[in-house]
């Protein structure tokens, strides 16, 4: 086993839809992972906002092993105690009234899309730059032209709006079935909705009888310092989609509905073989139970604010700000060097990613503490210094150093004060 052999093996045998992997990992523990050559990394990407408990957490391991040894799958002709326990927990935490269980975020959004279709109205509104998945339905909701174009024509009736309340006011009408939004656009580069957008969206959708669907696939499960990001705004949507963090690494997705919206489905109108099976349900219920019992939603809020401040305090001329909320953060850069920083971080034993040319994303486990933060800052600081030494000088007004504002560290955009 060696990294180069494994990466060659992958590229020769897997479809080239992803490109060559960046590493071959063998095992993990907490926020650490080791590659097949035994090299250790600090994981601050968390499988893209998935591993809320980190790697190989005893609660996760116990839930998988115990349920696998008890009952894994019986089909959706039947229910099981873990399925009912998970559904009860999701409803209690969210305030929703019905759940559909799926296997991924894409499938949760497909279910939401079919729900919207059942209103009988012809138009669905989504946002520019949105990411909702890659099946043809979820891709039709996705607002990234480069991802859509090879597969067009996609499902019709979907419009992508500019990210402003004015654009929503202008577009919405009584013929709109639903508006779907991410509270923070993770794949677009950790872009929070503008201040007041979600509240305005709630009022406008209510006024026109349209469904408000929030895609909390990346923001849910406590990541932003609330169980679900819509809860920061004091509103309730009609539907919410979940995946990623709720399984802590086990594949699962969910559509949660509110105010009776889920009753639009009639028996036989939607289904999936695996969705909500006993194994996935038991694991998700245990993962969310640990997030709850260990106070990890509060930890995400506190550690996220601390992390944002301390990244700014590194004083790198490449860093112009930090946006996002809780432990979903985007480090804003003065130049399009996000991929260089990601690669340098990797060489220094740190995993982060670059969702846009000028943004580095952090989405670590929600149980990080002092030690993980210290190691992150040391390794990330080294990566920044390495890239700053080779990158072309950023525009004079784009950096704290150049403008002399490093002394007064700015508040991270969208982070709790
Ligand atoms: C906001 C959002 N919606 C949907 C998806 C698709 O989820 P999945 O990859 O589990 O199908 C993602 C994945 O990154 C996402 O971030």
Q: Tell me: the pLDDT tens digits for 43-93?
A: 999 999 999 999 999 999 999 999 999 999 999 999 999 999 999 999 999
Which pLDDT value is given to residue 392? Answer: 65
Any atom of ligand 1 within 6 Å of the Cβ of 243: yes
Q: Over the stretch 176-187, which tens digit does the pLDDT of each residue have?
A: 999 999 999 999
pLDDT at 393: 57
| HEC secondary structure over the chain | CCHHHHHHHHHHHCCCCCCCCCCCEEEEEECEEEECCCCEEEECCHHHHCCCCCECCHHHHHHHHHHHCCCCCCCCCCCCHHHHHHHHHHHHHHCCCEEEEECCHHHHHHHHHHHHHCCCCCEEEEECCCCCCCCHHHHHHCCCHHHHHHHCCCCCCEEEECCCHHHHHHHCCCCEEEEEECCEECCCCCEECCCCHHHHHHHHHHHHCCEEEEECCCCCCCCCCCCCHHHHHCCCCCEEEECHHHHCCCCCEEEEECCCHHHHCCCCCCCCCCCCCHHHHHHHHHHHHHHHHCCHHHHHHHHHHHHHHHHHHCCCCCEEEEEEECCEEEEEECCCCHHHHHHHHHHCCEECEEEECCEEEECCCCCCCHHHHHHHHHHHHHHHHHHHHHCCCCCHHHCHHHHCCCCCCCCCECCCC
CA nearest to 398, candidates 318, 322, 339: 318
List pLDDT tens digits, range 18-31.
999 999 999 999 99
Closest by CA position to 252, among listed 410, 387, 64: 64
- The confidence score (pLDDT) of residue 214 equals 99
CA 406-329-38 angle, 5° bins: 105
CA of 400 to the centre of ligand 1 (A): 34
What average pLDDT score do residues 343-363 get? 98
Query: What pLDDT shows up at residue 394?
Result: 56
Q: By CB neighbour count within 10 A (0-12 exposed, 13-18 middle, 19+ buried), where does 150 fall?
A: exposed
In angstroms, the CA 251 to CA 46 distance is: 14
Cβ(139) – ligand 1 distance below 6 Å: no
pLDDT band at 397 (very low <50, low <70, confident <90, very high): very low
CB of 106 within 6 A of ligand 1: the answer is yes
Q: Taking 80 as the threshold, does the pLDDT of residue 106 lie above it?
A: yes
pLDDT tens sequence across 275-294: 999 999 999 999 999 999 99
So what's the pLDDT on residue 237?
99
Q: Is the pTM of this model over 0.85?
A: yes
Tokens for 390?
A: 């080779």
Indicate whether 195 pLDDT > 50: yes
**Residue 104 CB–ligand 1 contact under 6 Å:** yes
* Whole-angstrom distance, CA of residue 213 vs CA of residue 257: 9
Catalytic residue among 244, 250, 258, 376: 244
Distance CA 246, CA 366 (A): 12
How do residues 205-243 score in pLDDT, each as one tens digit?
999 999 999 999 999 999 999 999 999 999 999 999 999
Asked if residue 417 has pLDDT above 90, the reply is: no
In this model, does residue 408 exceed pLDDT 50? no
Each residue's pLDDT tens digit, 326-339: 999 999 999 999 99
In this predicted structure, what is the pLDDT of residue 395?
52
**What Å distances lie between residue 231 and 12, 56, 216, 222, 227, CA to CA?**
46, 30, 11, 11, 7
Q: 190 CB less than 6 Å from ligand 1?
A: no
Per-residue pLDDT band for 156 (boundaries 50, 70, 90) equals very high
Q: Whose CA is nearest to atom 3 of ligand 1?
A: 132
What is 3-56+296-398's CATH number, 3.90.1150.10, 3.30.420.140, 3.30.930.10, 3.40.50.150? 3.90.1150.10
pLDDT of res. 289: 99
Contact present, 183 and 193 (Cβ < 8 Å): yes
Where, residue-wise, is CATH 3.90.1150.10 in the chain? 3-56+296-398
133 Cα to the center of ligand 1, angstroms: 5
Which CATH number is correct for 58-293, 2.60.120.260, 3.40.50.300, 3.40.640.10, 3.50.50.60? 3.40.640.10
Q: What residues does CATH 3.40.640.10 cover in the chain? A: 58-293
Residue that the structure tokens 């202008």 belong to: 170
Kindly state the tokens that stand for 210.
């349209």
Percentage of residues of the chain with pLDDT beyond 90: 93
- C-alpha neighbours within 13 Å on the C-beta side of residue 290: 23
Is 258 labeled as catalytic in the residue annotation? no
Q: What is the pLDDT of residue 411?
A: 34
């Amino acid at each position: 086993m060696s990294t180069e052999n494994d990466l060659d093996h992958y590229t020769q045998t897997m479809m080239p839809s992803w490109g060559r992997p960046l590493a071959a990992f063998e095992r993990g523990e907490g926020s650490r992972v080791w590659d097949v050559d035994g090299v250790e990394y600090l994981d601050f990407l968390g499988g893209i906002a998935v591993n809320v408990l980190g790697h190989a957490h005893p609660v996760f391991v116990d839930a998988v092993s115990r349920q696998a040894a008890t009952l894994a799958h019986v089909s959706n002709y039947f229910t099981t105690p873990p399925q009912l326990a998970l559904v009860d927990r999701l409803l209690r935490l969210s305030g929703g009234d019905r759940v559909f269980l799926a296997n991924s975020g894409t499938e949760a959004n497909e279910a939401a899309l079919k729900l919207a279709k059942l209103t009988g109205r012809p138009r669905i509104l989504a946002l520019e730059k949105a990411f909702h998945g890659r099946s043809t339905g979820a891709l039709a909701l996705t607002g990234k032209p480069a991802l859509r174009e090879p597969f067009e024509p996609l499902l019709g009736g979907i419009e992508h709006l500019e990210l402003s309340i004015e654009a929503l006011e202008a577009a919405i009408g009584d013929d709109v079935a639903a508006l779907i939004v991410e509270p923070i656009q993770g794949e677009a580069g950790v872009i929070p909705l503008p201040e007041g957008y979600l509240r305005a969206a709630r009022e406008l959708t209510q006024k026109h009888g349209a469904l408000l669907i929030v895609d909390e696939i990346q923001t849910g499960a406590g990541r932003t310092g609330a169980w679900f990001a819509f809860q920061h705004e004091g509103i309730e949507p009609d539907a919410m989609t979940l995946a990623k963090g709720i399984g802590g690494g086990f594949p699962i997705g969910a559509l949660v509905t509110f105010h009776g919206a889920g009753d639009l489905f009639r028996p036989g109108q939607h289904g999936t073989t695996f969705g909500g099976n006993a194994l996935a349900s038991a694991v998700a219920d245990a993962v969310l139970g640990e997030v709850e019992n260990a106070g990890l939603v509060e930890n995400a809020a506190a550690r996220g604010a601390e992390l944002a401040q301390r990244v700014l305090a590194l004083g790198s001329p490449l860093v112009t700000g930090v946006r996002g909320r809780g432990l979903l953060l985007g480090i804003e850069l003065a130049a399009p060097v996000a991929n260089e920083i990601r690669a340098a971080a990797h060489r220094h034993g740190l995993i982060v990613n670059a969702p846009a040319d000028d943004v580095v994303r952090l989405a670590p486990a929600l149980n990080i503490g002092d030690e993980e933060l210290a190691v992150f800052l040391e390794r990330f600081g080294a990566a920044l210094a390495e890239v700053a030494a080779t990158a072309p000088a950023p525009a004079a007004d784009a950096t704290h150093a150049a403008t002399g504002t490093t002394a007064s560290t700015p508040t991270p955009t969208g982070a709790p004060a």
